Structure 1
Amino acid sequence: MASPFKTVALFGANGQVGNRVFKALIRCKGPEFSVIAFVSPNSSFNLMDYGDINATVKRVDLNHVARDDLVAILADAKVDVVISALGGQIIAKQCVIQDAAAKAGVKRFYPSEFGMHQVAWLPDEGAYLDPVSDVDLDLKAISSSLSNNTKIWALKIKCFEDAIRHPAIKSGQMSYTVIGCGEFYDAPGEPLLCPWLEKDESISKGGYSIQCVGDPDAKMDYSSLTDIANFVVATLRHPERSENRILGFRSDHITYNEIARLLQKYSGKPAKINITSVDQMRAILKDPSSAPKELLRGSTFPVDFWMILRHVQGQGVFWRPPGLLHNDLFPEVKPVSVEEYFRNLFAK
């Protein structure tokens, strides 16, 4: 059955996830989608970099755009689907986008998820979400108090909850698709979290150091940005399978010790696990500036954020159980394992 969706508006088309989704959308030929790429006004994103494609670009400052201006753009283009691939603080504007999409008659909304919701449990301390845990989880309160720390995690969870309970969703006017995944092993610009992508030879020539908190033999879900982008397109090609669904996808289920062995095998360089204890992590959460210098560089994420992520992984709970994984719904998306990725990466 041919997809009823023809035109897709992608917000954050220049971002880490958004750009891979954009590339997957413009490569799709069965059906061919018309894509509207929304990026910030100062973005270097240029359609000329992609050849002859069925796409247009809209440079919009989401911090200042009026809802009705977005309504006009989406309605004029007869947009069927809106995909939000926003990250960081700007995700707080996702509600404006969805309001505009509803008013413009958009049929399907994809909120920015592309990850996994987690609450970290610290020994003898109970649940730890992030420093906003003692603040009322109201979008305005969160966004106004945001700083470069793990409050962004709470904001993302709040945006997700609001998106799937939007009035247009509740009334049946609009459907939703949510896509969750594991940590990305092919994230450019994240050499601390993906040390195999370190471009500075002075750092990587002696080998690789993989950061871990807790147990390096704990299994966790990993995903490829390219795989998840292909999964998004598959859900658009088969909208009846993805309507009003929260879908999970992973490319591999693996431990850090296994990753280290594979990394050493295919790179030919030493690969070690740098284990941070839970007590050391606690001290860093209280005072992020106290972290060792090597942990304060190489990531777009602040140290307290990724330390909590690594802690959850080290607890062995960063994975989706049967019933919450949906790779089988779209068998045309062939996941690339970490081993296959390393084989291809270092063969170059």
Structure 2
Amino acid sequence: MTTSITNVVLAGATGNLGPSILEQLLLAGEFTVTVLVRKESPHTFPPPIKTITVDYESLESLTLALSGQDAVISTLPLTTPEKQLLLIEAAAKAGVKRFLPTEFGADTRNAKVRQLPVFQTKFLAQDLLEKKAKEGRLTYTLVANGPFFDWGLKINWLVNVKDRRAILYDGGHRKISFSLLSDIGRAVVGVLKHPQETENRMVFVQSTVQSFKDVFETAKKLTPGEKWTEEVVMVEDLLSSARADPEKFAMNFINAIIAGEGYGSLFEKNDNELLGIKELTQEEVEEVVKKYL
């Protein structure tokens, strides 16, 4: 059973999600936070954040960096799975209590999701963590939070704000669990505050439940008099093209998992209460959408 967590390491603090997790760790005021940085990294971090320069290809370097740490949070890119696997090995060797791998998205325990090739690197990390947990070397938590709501608006994916256009998968009516980047950071803090309740399992959080059509209608409501266009794309067509060329159309797999039937994108239950996440009201959803219009 995991005891209290104080010393926390973040690997991948400068990507899309890392800064939000780092911010919430600092706001919690309960953790000593260390960021792992590559030797060639140009990024710097202000006090009280500690930094340790590591070689992500060296087990010795990583083990030394993780010595005395209670938890490791990884947001390392899925394009370099070997780095995360080595980080897990180092965490186990260094005596780290809890490891949160690069998940932060779909319910990867869903049987249909596991049939698609796009998240194989996540499955490799899960398998290794389960092995280490069975050996009593460490514990883990997988965080499922659905697509990033605010980030999806920012990059013109959820709706294309720039071109006033929306893609509605299978008509866009399926409900989906979305999370704000800040709420994902809060969920991580919640995991660290509740190590026993979150040990060796997947936790589910959501900031709001919306369909692509819902967000499209909200955007139109907030831009009266402006012309928006929509395009219906069938999920099966996404899958067909992705299967024909998995590398070129990897994003089609991800969109199918998010918008398709039976992939678990609408969480049947969640851990919001345990982890301190409050769902947005419709008025608050509109405020988020409005920021990007």
Q: Shorter-normalised TM-score: what interval?
A: 0.7 to 0.9
Where do 5+ consecutive residues of structure 2 fail to align?
none
Match of 1:322 in 2: 268
**CA contact under 8 A between 2:239 and 2:256: conserved in structure 1?**
no
Q: In terms of Rg, which structure is larger? A: 1
Give, in angstroms, the shift of residue 96 of structure 1: 1.0
- Give the counterpart of 1:253 among 195, 209, 212: 209
Match of 1:45 in 2: 43
Deviation by residue 1:216-244 (Cα, 9 ceiling, x = unmatched):
11111111111111011012122232222
Per the alignment, in what secondary structure is the counterpart of residue 87 of structure 1?
Answer: coil
**CA contact under 8 A between 2:37 and 2:51: conserved in structure 1?**
yes
Residue type of the alignment partner of 2:48 = N
Match of 1:55 in 2: 49
Match of 1:346 in 2: 290
Q: Greater shift after overlay, 13-22 or 336-345?
A: 336-345
Where do 5+ consecutive residues of structure 1 fail to align?
122-126, 131-149, 199-203, 290-301
Give, in angstroms, the shift of residue 310 of structure 1: 2.5
The percent of aligned pairs where both chains have the same amino acid is 23
Per the alignment, in what secondary structure is the counterpart of residue 222 of structure 2?
Answer: helix
Q: Greater shift after overlay, 9-18 or 109-118?
A: 109-118
Give, in angstroms, the shift of residue 25 of structure 1: 0.6
Residue type of the alignment partner of 2:181 = L
Match of 2:232 in 1: 275
The number of equivalent residue pairs is: 286
Q: How high is the TM-score relative to the length of structure 2?
A: 0.84
Deviation by residue 1:186-214 (Cα, 9 ceiling, x = unmatched):
22796242446x6xxxxx2xx52223332
- Does residue 310 of structure 1 match 2:274? no
State the alpha-carbon separation in 2 of the partners of residues 95 and 260 from structure 1: 39
- Give the counterpart of 1:193 among 137, 157, 162: 157
Match of 2:32 in 1: 34
Deviation by residue 1:46-76 (Cα, 9 ceiling, x = unmatched):
213xxxx4211234342x3x1111111221x
Q: How high is the TM-score relative to the length of structure 1?
A: 0.72
Match of 2:219 in 1: 263
Q: Call closer, same or farther: CA 1:73–1:244 in 2, change over 3 Å.
A: same
State the alpha-carbon separation in 2 of the partners of residues 59 and 338 from structure 1: 44
Residue type of the alignment partner of 1:185 = F
CA RMSD of aligned residues (A): 2.9
Residue type of the alignment partner of 2:230 = I
Residue type of the alignment partner of 2:155 = P
State the alpha-carbon separation in 2 of the partners of residues 161 and 208 from structure 1: 42
Deviation by residue 1:116-160 (Cα, 9 ceiling, x = unmatched):
125659xxxxx9613xxxxxxxxxxxxxxxxxxx4xx22222222
State the alpha-carbon separation in 2 of the partners of residues 329 and 310 from structure 1: 29
